[in-house]
């Protein structure tokens, strides 16, 4: 990252629905070009000019979904005043 730029985490949350096990549903061995196409699509769709984006696929294990969503909701819906009090 160049000097003067800052990195901010962001999340795109979704679900996939299948009758298979999660491990049998996710493609493995994505090549760098495929990941770069996803990066570019997200960059062009969601962000303004001059913003760089880096993403990586990640699946939350089923037994951790509720905890992950609770943590995400806390980040999204907590006010700055609440954060200072914690």
Look up residue 44 and give its DSSP letter.
Answer: H
Of 77, 59, 57, residue with least CA distance to 68: 59
Q: Is residue 9 part of a domain?
A: no
71 occurs within a structural domain: yes
Q: Does 3 or 41 have the greater pLDDT score?
A: 41
- Helices (DSSP H) in 10-57: which residue ranges? 32-46
The reply to whether 23 falls in a domain is no
The total of structural domains in the chain comes to: 1
Euclidean distance between CA atoms 63 and 65, whole angstroms: 6
Q: In the predicted model, is pLDDT for residue 60 greater than 80?
A: no
Helices (H), the chain: 32-46, 65-77, 80-85
Q: Does any domain span residue 58?
A: yes
Let me know if residue 54 belongs to a domain.
Answer: yes
CB-CB contact of 58 with 30 (8 Å): no
Could you read off the pLDDT of 13-27 as tens digits, one per residue?
777 889 998 788 888
Does any domain span residue 35? yes
Q: What is the pLDDT of residues 26-58, one digit of tens each?
A: 888 888 899 899 999 999 999 999 999 888 777
């Amino acid at each position: 990252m160049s000097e003067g730029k800052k990195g901010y985490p962001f999340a795109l949350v979704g679900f996939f629905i299948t009758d298979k096990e999660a491990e049998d549903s996710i493609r493995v061995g994505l090549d760098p070009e495929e990941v770069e196409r996803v990066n570019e699509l997200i960059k062009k769709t969601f962000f303004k000019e001059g913003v760089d984006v880096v993403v990586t696929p990640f699946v939350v294990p089923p037994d951790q979904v509720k905890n992950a969503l609770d943590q995400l909701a806390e980040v999204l819906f907590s006010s700055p005043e609440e954060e200072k009090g914690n």
